[in-house]
Structure 1
Amino acid sequence: MSGKNTNPARQGRHDRLIQERNHDPYKAQKKLPDPTLCTECKAVFTGSRWQWTEKITRPMNTTLCPACSRIHEKIPAGILKVRGEFFQQHRDEILRLVQNKMDREKAQHPLKRLMNVEDKHDGSILVTFTDTHSPRDIGKALANAYHGELDIHYAEDEDLTRVTWSRW
């Protein structure tokens, strides 16, 4: 009999831990001092997260929050393309839906912001965001409200979500 254990039940697991990728260059590499104030939007990093607060009266450290950094550098984390004949006919209504949803999100989550709405020559619009979840959430809201086609792509090699909603 050899020294090897041939019983498969006793060989142990061959699982491997999968290392989570940290690919968002705008996420702080180390914890910020508590409290830290964003010099641009006045959000405060306290309690391990960015939030809107006016309760802190002691002196604060200052920096730009990740959302303001993305806005200044014009590097979105999410892109929503809205297109189609239906969009052309209901443009104002759809843009109000996008704006209202983002106003509600921003009130609760300071890092979720709408960066820009750009009209394209083909009649579509590109809406850019500071986070990866907003384009998906708004795309789903458009699909629920108006039906149409929703296409979501998550980039593997970068922190970017691309969403297209269309209805012809």
Structure 2
Amino acid sequence: MDSTKRWNPANIKKHEATDESDAYKNALVYKDMSICKKCHNIYHNKRWVHDNELYNSILKKKEEINYTICPACLKIETKFYNGVVELSGNFLFEHKSDILNLIRNTVERADYIDPLEKIENIEEDDKKKIITIYTTSEDLAQRIGRNVERAYNGEIDYSFSERDLLLRVYWKRDL
């Protein structure tokens, strides 16, 4: 049985990995007000938040600070990713800086919604004219692909593996 399914964006949007299915979110038990020593996200009220004011107030207190590593930074450290976005085509490298800016803006908006959605790595292959982006979540990979396709058209394909909880997004546009 093939565990890879083709999804259209509407179906992907409905698919949500639960916290129970993400081993990294369940790997450690976090104390309230724990701070990730890599990205400075804070575990507060049973969720991770990115809040500079809260971060500064915790640092000002004289109490002992509990440093840890958040699930997203742990995924980055162990090179475990849930999303892969592959962008290709002649158009890509003629508009590379604009497309990378769009991706940066998409990641910044995603960080506001869920600070555990991060880019792990970006690989560029100038000869093959491919940029590959690895993300810590399926949602971020889908969001990047959708935003690039909306802004620049092209052909897009989504491939989701339920077994691996991995979303692959392929976008291509030639001139």
The amino acid of 1:147's aligned partner reads N
For the structure 1 residues 30 and 92, does the alpha-carbon distance in structure 2 shift closer, same or farther, using more than 3 Å as the test?
A: closer
Q: Which residue number in structure 1 is paired with residue 23 of structure 2?
A: 25
Tell me by how many angstroms 1:106 deviates.
2.0
Out of 132, 149, 162, the residue aligned to residue 143 of structure 1 is: 149
Aligned residue pair count: 149
Question: What runs of 5+ residues in structure 2 fail to find an aligned partner?
Answer: 1-17
Contact kept? 1:118, 1:127, Cα under 8 Å = yes
What is the deviation of 1:21? 9.3
After TM superposition, the structure 1 = structure 2 runs for residues 55-94 of structure 1, keeping only pairs within 5 Å, are 55-56=57-58, 57=61, 58-94=63-99
TM-score by length of 1: 0.79
Secondary structure at 1:103's aligned position in 2?
Answer: helix
Native 8 Å contact 1:23 1:158 kept in 2: no
Q: Which has the higher contact order (CA 8 A, sep 6+)?
A: 2
TM-score, reference length from structure 2 = 0.76
Q: Which has the higher helix share?
A: 2
- Which runs of at least 4 in structure 1 moved beyond 3 Å after TM superposition? 20-23, 55-60
Please state how far the C-alpha of 1:156 moved relative to its aligned partner: 1.1
Could you tell me which amino acid in structure 2 is paired with residue 27 of structure 1?
Answer: K
User: CA RMSD, aligned part only?
Assistant: 2.0
Percent identity over the alignment is 30
CA distance in 2 between partners of 1:60 and 1:161 (Å): 36
CA distance in 2, matches of 1:49, 1:21: 11
Query: Partner residue of 1:153?
Result: 159
